[in-house]
């Protein structure tokens, strides 16, 4: 692996001038975002899928509630070579400068711990209800300014579920729906109105895989939230509405305590608890 050539910005698949892409990003409704297909060469992404297929000791965090059912790699995990290589590149100086050119956001900073990022996998029946990401990193207290998602789903059909939805908050309405096709990268501004999710459940027997990286600036304010905020949406179950209200109002330590108690009770009973 020591002879593997380095990733470079010159190898990226930008099919339009950066200035035009920046205009598209900044003017996109319902909030700034940009969709770029085949930004990263398939020769960079396919080895990551191979690593995933042969995974043994990856460190995962699982979520299984009425609001989300998915798993992601843990922060500060020891990742396999190919996936770590990807994140090392997107957090490098040349790529950060490219992101500034594409978005207009100056002085972007990386997060080597990959808090909230890494590789995310959503299996059959999985979903992530409409939400707004944490505005401030809970450890570094930097402002969360930009999310980048790169999808790893060969031969994906938009009818499989799991499409990324971008919503306006007032009025509440879906504005954009993005299929998680292999090699598709989405840049998405982070703010208190950047409501998004993939609420449509994945079809049984399938997996939706994505690489997620967050980028920061050093200008956080005390009122910024360090937790996810859920947003109500039409058709949401009563259980999801209740969990959303509790999550958005109770302090994080209380939420963690309730989650721990729920998991303990489920483990003891060996049964699925009601309200799921």
User: Is residue 158 domain-shared with residue 266, that is, in the same domain?
Assistant: no
Residue 232 inside a domain? The answer is: no
User: Is residue 18 domain-shared with residue 131, that is, in the same domain?
Assistant: yes
How far apart (Å, rounded) are the C-alpha atoms in residues 174 and 165?
A: 7
Q: What is the mean pLDDT of residues 223-252?
A: 73
8 Å CB contact between 183 and 226: no
User: Is residue 17 domain-shared with residue 125, that is, in the same domain?
Assistant: yes
Note the pLDDT of residue 273.
42
Q: How far are the Cα atoms of 36, 181, 184 from residue 151, in angstroms, in the given order?
A: 11, 6, 6
Range of the domain at 33: 9-224
188 SS3 class: strand
Give residue 165's pLDDT band: very low, low, confident or very high (50, 70, 90).
Answer: very high
- Per DSSP bridges, beta strands 143-151 and 127-132 are unpaired
Q: For the chain, what is the domain count? A: 2
Number of CB atoms found within 10 A of residue 107's CB: 11
pLDDT tens, position by position, 21-61: 999 999 999 999 999 999 999 999 999 999 999 888 899 99
Q: Take residue 153 and report the two structure tokens written for it.
A: 């789903």
């Amino acid at each position: 692996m020591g002879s593997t050539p380095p990733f470079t910005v010159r190898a990226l698949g930008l099919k339009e001038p950066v200035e035009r892409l920046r205009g598209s990003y900044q003017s996109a409704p319902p909030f700034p975002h940009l969709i770029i297909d085949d930004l990263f060469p398939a020769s960079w992404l396919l080895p990551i899928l191979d690593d995933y297929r042969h995974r043994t000791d990856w460190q995962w965090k699982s979520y299984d509630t009425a609001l989300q059912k998915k798993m992601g790699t843990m922060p500060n995990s020891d990742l396999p070579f190919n996936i770590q290589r990807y994140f090392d590149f997107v957090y490098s100086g040349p790529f950060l400068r490219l992101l500034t050119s594409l978005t207009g956001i100056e002085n972007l900073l990386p997060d080597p711990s990959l808090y909230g990022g890494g590789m995310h996998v959503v299996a059959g029946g999985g979903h992530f209800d409409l939400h707004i990401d944490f505005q401030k990193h809970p450890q570094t207290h930097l402002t969360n300014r930009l999310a980048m998602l790169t999808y790893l789903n060969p031969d994906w059909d938009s009818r499989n579920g799991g499409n990324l939805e971008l919503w306006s908050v007032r009025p509440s309405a879906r504005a954009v729906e993005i299929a998680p096709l292999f090699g598709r990268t989405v840049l998405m501004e982070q703010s208190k109105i950047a409501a998004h999710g993939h609420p449509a459940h994945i079809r049984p027997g399938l997996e939706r895989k994505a690489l997620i990286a967050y980028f920061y600036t050093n200008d956080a304010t005390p009122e910024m939230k360090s937790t996810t905020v859920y947003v109500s949406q039409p058709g949401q179950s009563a259980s999801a509405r209740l969990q959303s209200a509790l999550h958005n109002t109770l302090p994080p330590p209380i939420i963690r305590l309730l989650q721990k108690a729920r998991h303990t009770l489920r483990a003891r009973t060996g049964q699925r608890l009601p309200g799921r």
